[in-house]
Amino acid sequence: MKKFIWIIIGIWIFIPKINAETDLTPSSKSAILIEPVTKKVLYEKNADEKLPPASMTKIMSMLLIMEEIDKGNLSLEDTVRISKNASSMGGSQLFLQEGETYKVKELLKGIAVASGNDAVVAMAEKIGGSVEGFVDLMNNKAQELGLSNTHFINPHGLDAEGHYSSARDMATMASELLKHEKILEFTSIYEDYLQKNDGSSIWLVNTNKLVRFYDGVDGLKTGFTEKAGYCLTATAKKNNLRLISVVMNVSSSDERSNDTSNLLNYGFNTYEMYILYGKENPLGTKRVEFGKQDRASIYLKNDYQVLIKKNESAPSYSFEVNVNNLVAPIKKGDKVGQAKVIDNGKVIDEVDVTVNEDIEKSNFIDYFNKNLKIITGGRIRIS
């Protein structure tokens, strides 16, 4: 029995401990793992190296598409006519023909699931007026997001001189894309069909196999070219924690999946999201001018979450509310000010605050009753 115990102890001693210092991505030239809410980097390896992103480029293309939809400039039901240029695209494609028309939602599915180069070019022409115009929008957005190691030449990711990005920049793009939660309805599809104009259909299978084989993965985008190697920006959610991982320049699709799984396993096994202050808990009240009610309770617009290592205590932060003058009418959910998040007297964050009910504007009778209440002590009211 003693001999058996010493064998077990010996095995435990020599088992490598997986942590942020371990090379979690031995097959990847560059990699990163982040939590998108706090933007905390949990692991990185050559994360700022400029490398060809291959079809991960389409993350930026999808971001611009989703922004146009959210702005109301584009609808998922809008139709797009396929140009000669779009139909002639090589690489991964949906075999779209010149003159065919498809709805935006069909092309978006083709981009997200099957990485269709013809579909993304058609959408680029729809939004940017031309591929060149769309690429300008891509680079403008990259500059807006502070992506210092990214430059685009095309919307699809086929190798081109001067077309590059980095693992850190790809993670930032992915974080921005995930603010448009509708995109997950497309990137989480493992297989589906695209109905062609001639009545035939094309089988679409997600190039991101982890959507099917890793619990919690619901996106985002693979990539492969001879120059870029195998790449993958992935996202997964378990419980209250979402992670984004990026691996670049891997020699095979299996190794790409293995390195990504290592990153996600490390993140989910090590960290958890803790709701420090819930959006349903009031922060105090504020006087309302011209409202049917005199005061309104103030709430965070979103739960305030912190990322902590498992089995560690959550931090103790305080909130200092700075609310604008509340003037009715106010809609539930409207931003009415901000709250400073304070740790040991130091402001570490600022978050939006709101009200949790509609506040209507007073009419003449409301004003009259308020004054009458003051005069009569509330014994008389006019309705």
DSSP, residue by residue, 295-347: EEEEEESS-EEEEEETTSPPP--EEEEEEPPEES-B-TT---EEEEEEETTEE
Measured CA to CA, the distance from residue 221 to residue 53 in angstroms comes to 10
28 is catalytic: no
Task: List for the chain the helix, strand, coil content (%; round to 5).
Answer: 35, 30, 40
Q: Which of 30, 61, 115, 261 is catalytic?
A: 115
Taking the alpha carbons at both ends of the chain, their separation in whole angstroms is: 88
Helices (H), the chain: 2-14, 58-71, 84-87, 104-114, 117-128, 131-144, 167-177, 184-187, 210-213, 253-270, 364-376
58 is catalytic: yes
Q: Which of 30, 55, 83, 245 is catalytic?
A: 55
Measured CA to CA, the distance from residue 198 to residue 183 in angstroms comes to 27
Are residues 228 and 166 in contact, defined by beta-carbon separation less than 8 angstroms?
no
115 is catalytic: yes
Smallest CA-to-CA distance from 25 within 268, 285, 251 is with 251
Q: Which residue reads 């779209």 in tokens?
A: 96
Q: Which of 45, 58, 109, 126 is catalytic?
A: 58
Measured CA to CA, the distance from residue 166 to residue 172 in angstroms comes to 10
Question: How far, in whole angstroms, is CA 9 from its chain's centroid?
Answer: 43
Known catalytic residues are 55, 58, 115
